[in-house]
Structure 1
Amino acid sequence: MPEVGVTYFAGTFVRHPLTMAVVHAALRHMRANPGLQEQVNTTAERLVDRLHALLAAEGFPMHIGRFGSLLKPEWTQEPAFGELFYYYLREAGVYAWDARPNYLTTAHGDTELDRIVEGFEYAVGQMKRGGFLDDVRPTAQLVTLASDRTSITVPSTESQREVWLADRFVAGNSLAYNEGLLLTLDGALDEDALRHALQTLLDRHESLRARFSRDGRRLVIDHHLELDLPVHDLSGLGEAERTAALERLCDEEMGRTFDLRRGPLIRFALARLDERRHRLLFIAHHAVCDGWSGAVLLTELGAVYSARVTGRAAELDPAPRYADYVAVERHFLESPVGQAHREYWLKQLHDAPQPPQLPPDRSPGPDPGLSAARVDVPVDAELVTRLRALGSAHGASLVATMLTGFAELFRRCTGQDDLVIGLAAAGQSFHGQGQLVGHCVNLLPLRLRLDTADGFADALAITRTALLDAYDHQGVSFGTLLPELELTPRRQSAAAGERRVQHRRARRRHRPRRSGCRLPHAGAAGRDLRVVHQRGRHRHVDGAGGQLPHRAVQRGAHPRLPGGLPRPAARRLRR
């Protein structure tokens, strides 16, 4: 081995001196005969077809993912002693290193394929005869595996792993990550065109076909996901009964958890109120679909549906691949710019304050839970205009003005003038992939030091600067920073979700005109308080854990907002 530093090497951690020579020879061989790749891919396809036929006939809960000549076995329902399958394969003369990727080469011909299939037959038989599948019940899906159902596996992002951990290991937290849209569809509905449009969305966007590996560190993206659109006919009911039935349907669907490992992580339901009124319910897990994605999907749904009913082809650009986004994000985090973003946040948070102590209405008890409610606070257009003018007079946007008011409210409620407020930032805009669907949101821990602020104007200037700096460094997620922050136990629990405060702006694009769109509430939340303001319409206040009803927040509010603006009245919605 050379004693100097290695600039580049091909292969794995086994740095054999012949590696470069072998790789160079292989590349020259491939360049001399481009048909080799196609030949190997065709061979791999034939092998996967044969294996899927065997697995389907035996009702064996396994799927072989294929990407070119790369083959990867995946359990669709893993038995308790699933590792034994690979021991049986090796016993039959087929070397397989557990569930790791396997490759075919030009050396694999029909004889080798026969031996591989025979090895699978032997391993499947041994698993069944040994009773190692007794804890697995084959479903209809398992015995109807299509030969073209393949999948690819990509690393999950740090933000996705944060959601995965919270979903899996915080009791009752799963419902907090159900994202729902209820669409009002008025007029004669072409259900076939609607089904076509929804299937097109599933086919276009990888995240809608994604599920997680057992450890949450990988995404399994299935090649195809067949649309399931149950139709609930409520047309025979009276108006009051119909409204109640629709509410029950929304509650039931929003109250169903997703299985992150088995998937799918998206579902639809259609309610028929009468011949010209329908409601389409769209629910997805937050780990694969964020608010920005919802806007993209609504826009494309309208375009594809309209094209279908008019006999045209929908004019849509190719959808960005989530796998590409994962690669771009990883490259950014490892780049000098990404490291600079990381250093910025570590400097901001190295002496972060204790979590805010909001005055609760009652003792939370040992297990406060995650039940939640939503309060809508109407804000009329005139008040929004005055708020915008107030910010403009100080060189700040409406977002910065609202965020300052939010921070000032917490300052009054808690007596703390050093606050860390979560701010959601869309990764799609940061990485220039505006039409991407997936979980791309980063939670930015915006730190506001208001101890030097002398009045609202000073507080607004501090917030404006902090906000601009945060968006300039939005490429790093909060979860990436946590392992490097020295937090006290209390601050650790707050960072993990015990006491989190978030301010979020609902962008206009998230509420398309003529969409008739509203958001059902899941009845659960992953943070104690989230305030969402939407331009020109209203503001949402979500509370979780039964600890912070809106009275607790209102109690600390001054009768008049900054600049002599009257405080709007609030009404509390049902839980």
Structure 2
Amino acid sequence: MTDSSERGRAPHGGSPLSVTQEQLWLLDRVDPGNASYNTPMMWRLDGRLDAALLARALGAVARRQEMLRAYVVAADGVPHQVVADEVPLPLEVTDLTHLPQADREAETDRILAEAAHRPFDLGRPPLFRVALIRTGPEQHVMALVIHHIVSDGWSLQVLLQEVADLYAGLVTGADVALPPLTAQFVDYARMQRERLAGPRGEALAAYWTRQLAGAPVDLGLPTDRPRPAVTDFAGDRYVFQVPEALRAELGALARADRASMFMVTLAGFVSLLSRLTGRQDLLVGTPVANRDRPEWGPLVGYFADTLVLRGDVGGDPSFRELLGRVRSTALAGFVHRDLPFRVLVERLQPERAANRNPLFQVMFILQNIPARRRQAEMPGVTMTRLDDVRSTSIFDLRFDLFEFEDELRGQLEYSTQLFDRSTVERIASQYVALLTDACADPDRPVSALSLGGAHVDAAAFNDDLEEV
């Protein structure tokens, strides 16, 4: 592994970007200042917090994790990532305790929104910031915002845990030694490039070319408004709860059919999309962590990528039969997960449009989150995760399910250019109703599963749209 100080002293050199990093860099070049790939994480901190020690812990993690000191430079149009030896600590502290309560809450919301939506300059490190707001004698709100080009969802948990561990050591005076890192993200990026250039890369491309041959690249999901010529990524979120009884039934169905909770809930999503669109062949995106080596696990970096899974609802199968199809497709997809989405698009050359994502427009995600991750502990401080304040949506719909130890929660992130909130609420309700019916009788045809109300006529929906 190359010494980080050598990389830091190479202002016009550096290391190659991963394929997914390069895609984000290209998007930033086309639309500089777009904050759609800012990733915020918000926490309420209750207890006696020492802001100075928190800053020291953040600084220590930045020295340990190279991507927290990374930035991108281009030489002759080719981007490289450079790791700076040192970066200024981007901790912004604001004390609002002098304000009346109502003003304090409004100003807190404003600061959080500004921190989440302020663009990063990819050519200037660091590509993360922390806003710490004091709202009471022993109350703070903290926003960690990091650009996706140097992180992913897994990275945020790594970062938070390392900061908490180091802060605990500073408060208690204990000597906290984090496990040494045996690699850095630039090693992964270099390995990925080498792998794709060899026989493995060609075999992966051949598999996905066969798998997606002839698939429709436009889902045709009914929307409340015509698709604009260019998307502005404006979005909103709707959160809903899956009943505990249904969660248990989904788990039982998964065990009975040798499937996972992801496969069962994805089968439900494919069923619903088929009912809403009238399509029997459709594509759905889902993320993969790409941390299949132990040395990648404790790193901050953009490892995640996207799989495109093909849903086959042809022949009006029973839900159980569809689950079997989804299971086979998912298992084969994960075996061949190493081909970056960008390379897949370049290989397939689908018809491109400025107002929709290539290949798929909806994303499905199931995250298994132990209950303890909703709260984290530092000495004298309890950290509670807050809903973030983003108002963007990269996809038409992004459907998240969060499986905690004691509940299953859903979240629909949607394009406000396309959908009204009432429509998204109805989609969530229909999804829960369909899964409830599927669990009650998994041998019932997908077309007969209840949507919990009046039948949704996709053709009529589209006819109404054409009259707008």
Name which structure has the greater RCO, CA cutoff 8 Å, separation 6+. Answer: 2
Judge conservation of contact 1:378–1:539 (CA < 8 Å) in 2: yes
In the alignment, is residue 246 of structure 1 matched against residue 108 of structure 2? yes
Paired with 1:466 and 1:360, the residues of 2 have a C-alpha distance of 28
Judge conservation of contact 2:236–2:416 (CA < 8 Å) in 1: no
Paired with 2:143 and 2:173, the residues of 1 have a C-alpha distance of 26
Query: Aligned residue pairs: how many?
Result: 425
2:373 matched to which residue of 1?
A: 512
Aligned-residue offset at 1:269: 0.9
Aligned-residue offset at 1:428: 2.0
Amino acid at match of 1:253: A
1:281 matched to which residue of 2?
A: 143
In the alignment, is residue 334 of structure 1 matched against residue 197 of structure 2? yes
Alignment partner for residue 409 of structure 2, among 532, 538, 543?
538
Judge conservation of contact 2:97–2:135 (CA < 8 Å) in 1: yes
CA RMSD of aligned residues (A): 2.8
Alignment partner for residue 433 of structure 1, among 296, 320, 324?
296
Alignment partner for residue 313 of structure 1, among 175, 179, 182?
175
| CA 1:191–1:489: 2 relative to 1, 3 Å | closer
Judge conservation of contact 2:16–2:189 (CA < 8 Å) in 1: yes
Paired with 1:509 and 1:332, the residues of 2 have a C-alpha distance of 34
* Greater shift in the superposed pair: 298-307 or 229-238: 229-238
Paired with 1:169 and 1:496, the residues of 2 have a C-alpha distance of 16
Alignment partner for residue 242 of structure 2, among 367, 372, 379?
379
1:82 matched to which residue of 2?
A: none
TM-score, length-scaled by structure 1: 0.69
Aligned-residue offset at 1:364: 3.7
Paired with 2:231 and 2:186, the residues of 1 have a C-alpha distance of 38
Greater Cα radius of gyration, structure 1 or 2: 1
% identity of equivalent residues:
29
1:501 matched to which residue of 2?
A: 362
1:423 matched to which residue of 2?
A: 286
Amino acid at match of 2:385: C
Could you give the per-residue CA deviations for residues 154-187 of structure 1, whole angstroms, max 9, x where no partner exists? 1001111112222331477x22111001122111
| CA 1:334–1:163: 2 relative to 1, 3 Å | same
Could you give the per-residue CA deviations for residues 518-539 of structure 1, whole angstroms, max 9, x where no partner exists? 3413211221110110002411
Q: 3-state DSSP class of the match of 1:376?
A: strand
Judge conservation of contact 2:229–2:355 (CA < 8 Å) in 1: no
Amino acid at match of 2:236: A
Could you give the per-residue CA deviations for residues 369-409 of structure 1, whole angstroms, max 9, x where no partner exists? 21100000112433211221122222211111111111111
Paired with 1:184 and 1:162, the residues of 2 have a C-alpha distance of 34
In the alignment, is residue 526 of structure 1 matched against residue 402 of structure 2? no
2:463 matched to which residue of 1?
A: none
Paired with 2:171 and 2:9, the residues of 1 have a C-alpha distance of 41
| CA 1:380–1:298: 2 relative to 1, 3 Å | farther
Task: List runs of 5+ in structure 2 lacking aligned partners.
Answer: 377-383, 442-449, 454-468
Task: List runs of 5+ in structure 1 lacking aligned partners.
Answer: 1-40, 42-64, 75-98, 102-152, 570-575
Aligned-residue offset at 1:66: 6.9
Aligned-residue offset at 1:256: 0.6
Amino acid at match of 2:70: A
| CA 1:292–1:280: 2 relative to 1, 3 Å | same
| CA 1:489–1:183: 2 relative to 1, 3 Å | closer
Judge conservation of contact 2:397–2:414 (CA < 8 Å) in 1: yes
In the alignment, is residue 222 of structure 1 matched against residue 108 of structure 2? no
Amino acid at match of 1:540: Q
1:189 matched to which residue of 2?
A: 49
| CA 1:521–1:405: 2 relative to 1, 3 Å | farther
Paired with 1:511 and 1:156, the residues of 2 have a C-alpha distance of 34
2:419 matched to which residue of 1?
A: 548
* Greater shift in the superposed pair: 259-268 or 236-245: 236-245
Paired with 1:329 and 1:368, the residues of 2 have a C-alpha distance of 31
| CA 1:493–1:243: 2 relative to 1, 3 Å | closer
Q: 3-state DSSP class of the match of 1:475?
A: coil
Judge conservation of contact 1:364–1:545 (CA < 8 Å) in 2: no
Q: 3-state DSSP class of the match of 2:413?
A: strand
Paired with 1:241 and 1:270, the residues of 2 have a C-alpha distance of 17
Aligned-residue offset at 1:453: 4.9
Q: How does 1:84-233 map to 2 (within 5 A)?
A: 153-170=14-31, 174-214=34-74, 215=77, 217-233=79-95
In the alignment, is residue 355 of structure 1 matched against residue 218 of structure 2? yes
Amino acid at match of 1:254: A
2:131 matched to which residue of 1?
A: 269
